[in-house]
Chains A and B, each alone.
Chain A
Amino acid sequence: MRNFSCGYGARDADVVRDASFTLESGSMTALVGPNGAGKSTLLKGLLGLLPVTPSGEAQFFGHPLTAMRARVAFVPQRAEIDWNFPASALDVATMGVAARLGVFRRPGREGRTTAMRALATVGLEAFAETQIGELSGGQQQRVLVARALAADAELLLLDEPFANADMAASTKLLATLRALAHEGRTILAVHHDLASVRAHFDRAIVVAGAIAADGQPREVLDPSQLAKIYGIAGSPEGNAA
């Protein structure tokens, strides 16, 4: 099934040029590449979050994003959120419901149930009333995933969801994402840990100013390929082994 293809036209200042790919539904794809290669830029460009409108087109389920907002959710880097914001885990998950219903409709009891179910999916139902600032880093990341689930998004775009996560937190989040993929949801995540990509993802897209490689993680991320990609674009990452 075709989810979307996207491309950036050639432009002097473009961070990522002429990228094209189509995602399979129900799959887990990782965007990997050296620091500054444009992984997050690509993700945000797809979602129209960059100040400059990208050239080329990004299609979601065969349509432009504006027509498909309800089926797509963005999960930002945890570091981009002010966790002192006055809200409970349930409040944040409920924002996902509002993203689907529109901000002027009351989520009501049904919305609350949806939000609670989303929290349960990521294993946080016991923390529904906890203030988000008091959650651990891993839990905060999963609250953001719950918000996307409460919106019933079929395509989740995650910007470095494993950043600064310890082993236990990463394992939990990976299990959650895999379960979502089994449900038929599509996962696209910027990810730095190549060993983890190899072990848990269906596909790896290597970004280095453009798409440098795309395919099965085992093939794309083999040592000789990596040396080439990371060697050209910059220094290899510590966790590339």
Chain B
Amino acid sequence: MIGANTMLVLAGCALFGAVSGATGTFVLARRRALVSDVAGHAALPGVALGFLLGEVTGLGGRSPALLVLCATITALFAALCVAPLARLRRLGDDGATATMLAGSFGLGAALLSIVQSHASGAQGGLQTLLLGSAAAMRTSDVVVLTVLSLIVVATLTVLARGLAMVAFDEEHARVAGVPVRALDFALIVLLVACVVAGLQVAGVVLVVAFILTPAATARLFAGSLRVTALRAAMLGTATAVAGVLASRVLPTFPTGSAMTLAASLVFFTALVLHRKHKFAERIA
């Protein structure tokens, strides 16, 4: 039987799957895939900082608002640093991404060890943020997830046309007077919102799979960017639900990993089917 708690987890994960899939489609189209990885890893020092700040100010180490706020700030900062860093001294996109990713994760690990030396920190369960703990989702988590999701979806709907133009041809967009920098900034903000929303669900390492894998799967099939985003949203929801149910059947299996594996499985299945289809078309 599906209990109230499972329903809650299901609802939260399904919503998150849809929103991150749609956002990921635009991120992938703009070739910013690895920036989501940077944002994910850079959320870790934010969470640790939030915990320490909470302890110092007496708000308590697990104040959700404080944790979310600090994670947003560090993730946003790191994600925004990638582009200027890439231009600096011809480091390149991959070099800048790797540098930021490793640097922020290192800082996060160091801060986390300080947190763990606190008596309350050891019980804080911050470790679960590495790989997520969807099964431990509470009503307040689902509320935060819902609010963030609605904001992201509304923003995406308004900006979709501009984001598509910039992603397809930045120079044409600039000549046409499209606010490229503002749209790029908005996309990073949306991405960070997804990352922060997904911390509880998937953790800092696996959150990138929710943003990119459904989007990559959706890209295998023809259609406009809008259609691709809708498809990615549906795939995200389906894999999230499959993951939650799988981890119910096999309780030792963490929900975040189950969902990630489901998404990857769907991707590779679609890839094989796509190849077969293309091959059949060619010999027909």
> Which A residues are closer than 8 A to B by beta carbons?
44, 47-49, 65-66, 69, 72-76, 80-82, 84-88, 91-92, 95, 98-100, 103-104, 131, 147, 151
In the docked arrangement, what's the CA distance between A82 and B167, Å?
9
Q: Which of A48, A72, A87 has the most C-beta atoms of chain B within 10 angstroms of its own C-beta?
A: A87
Selecting from B113-121, B126-134, B146-154, B220-228, the interface stretch reads B220-228
Q: Is the CB of A73 within 8 A of B175?
A: yes
Q: Report yes or no: A99 in contact with B176, Cβ–Cβ below 8 A.
A: yes
Q: Are A99 and B227 in contact (CB under 8 A)?
A: no
- Residue ID in chain A nearest B228 by CB atoms: A86
CB distance from A28 to the nearest CB of B (A): 20
Q: Are B168 and A95 in contact (CB under 8 A)?
A: yes
A-B pair number, CB within 8 angstroms: 82
- Name 11 extra pairs, CB < 8 A, besides A80-B171, A95-B169, A131-B223: A44-B171, A69-B176, A72-B175, A74-B175, A82-B31, A86-B224, A87-B225, A91-B224, A95-B164, A95-B165, A103-B162
B275 within 8 A of A: no
Give the complex CA separation of A95 and B219 in angstroms: 20
| Contact yes or no, B168 A81, CB < 8 A | yes
**Interface bin, chain B:** 20 to 34
Question: Contact between B178 and A86 (Cβ–Cβ < 8 Å)?
Answer: no
Q: B29 at interface (Cβ–Cβ under 8 A)?
A: yes
Cβ contact within 8 Å between A151 and B169: no
Chain A residues with Cβ under 8 A from B174's Cβ? 47-49
Please, how many angstroms separate the alpha-carbon atoms of A73 and B168 in the complex?
15
For residue B161, which residues in chain A have a CB less than 8 angstroms away from its CB? 98, 103-104
In the complex, A86 Cα to B174 Cα: how many Å?
A: 20
CB-defined contacts of A76 to chain B, threshold 8 Å: 169, 171-172
Which chain B residues numbered 220 to 238 have a C-beta less than 8 Å away from chain A? Answer: 222-225, 227-228
Shortest distance between the CB of A217 and any CB in chain B (Å): 27
In the complex, chain B residues 242-268 whose Cβ is within 8 Å of any chain A Cβ: none
Q: Is the CB of B165 within 8 A of A98?
A: yes
Q: Contact flags (1/0) for B7-30 with A, using CB distance below 8 Å?
A: 000000000000000000000010
Specify the chain A residue showing the minimal Cβ separation from B218: A86
| Cα–Cα distance between A49 and B169 once the two chains are bound (Å) | 12
* B166 to A: closest C-beta gap in Å: 9
The chain A residue with its CB closest to the CB of B231 is A86
Interface pair A73/B169, CB less than 8 Å apart = no
- Distance of A66 Cα from B177 Cα, bound (Å): 8
CB pair A87 B168 closer than 8 Å: yes
Is the Cβ of B171 less than 8 Å from the Cβ of A88?
no
Max count, chain B CB within 10 A of own CB: residue among A65, A85, A104: A85
Measured between alpha carbons, how far is A75 from B175 in the docked complex, in Å?
A: 10
B280 within 8 A of A: no
**Which chain B residues lie closer than 8 Å to A47 at the CB level?**
171, 174-175
10 A-B pairs with the lowest CB-CB distances in the bound complex, closest first: A99-B176, A103-B162, A74-B175, A69-B177, A86-B228, A131-B222, A91-B224, A103-B161, A47-B175, A86-B225
Distance in Å: Cβ of A171 to nearest Cβ of chain B = 25
Indicate whether A86 sits within 8 Å of B222 (C-beta atoms), given known contacts A98-B161, A99-B176, A104-B158: yes
- 27 A-B pairs, CB-CB below 8 angstroms? A47-B174, A48-B174, A49-B171, A49-B174, A69-B176, A72-B175, A73-B175, A80-B169, A80-B171, A84-B219, A86-B219, A86-B228, A87-B164, A87-B224, A87-B225, A91-B225, A92-B168, A95-B168, A95-B169, A98-B161, A99-B165, A99-B172, A99-B177, A99-B178, A103-B162, A104-B162, A131-B222
Q: Complex formed: what's the CA distance from A44 to B172 in Å?
A: 11
Q: Closest residue of chain A to B175, judged by CB?
A: A74
Within 8 A of A (CB), among B152-192: 158-159, 161-162, 164-165, 167-169, 171-178
B16 to chain A, nearest CB (A): 23
Expressed in whole angstroms, the minimum distance between the Cβ of A143 and any Cβ of chain B is 11
CA distance A74 to B176 in the complex (A): 8
- Check B167 against A85 for contact (C-beta < 8 Å): yes
- In the complex, what distance in Å separates the CA atom of A87 from the CA atom of B167? 11
**Cβ contacts under 8 Å, B172 to chain A:** 73-76, 95, 99, 147
Tell me, rounded to whole Å, the shortest Cβ–Cβ distance linking A66 to chain B. Answer: 7
Name the residue of chain A whose CB is nearest to the CB of B225.
Answer: A86
Inter-chain contacts of B219 with A (CB < 8 A): 84, 86
Most buried by A among B159, B167, B168, B175: B175
B125 to chain A, nearest CB (A): 40
**Please, how many angstroms separate the alpha-carbon atoms of A87 and B178 in the complex?**
19
Question: In this complex, which of A65, A88, A98, A104 has the most chain B Cβ atoms within 10 angstroms of its Cβ?
Answer: A98
Give the complex CA separation of A72 and B177 in angstroms.
11
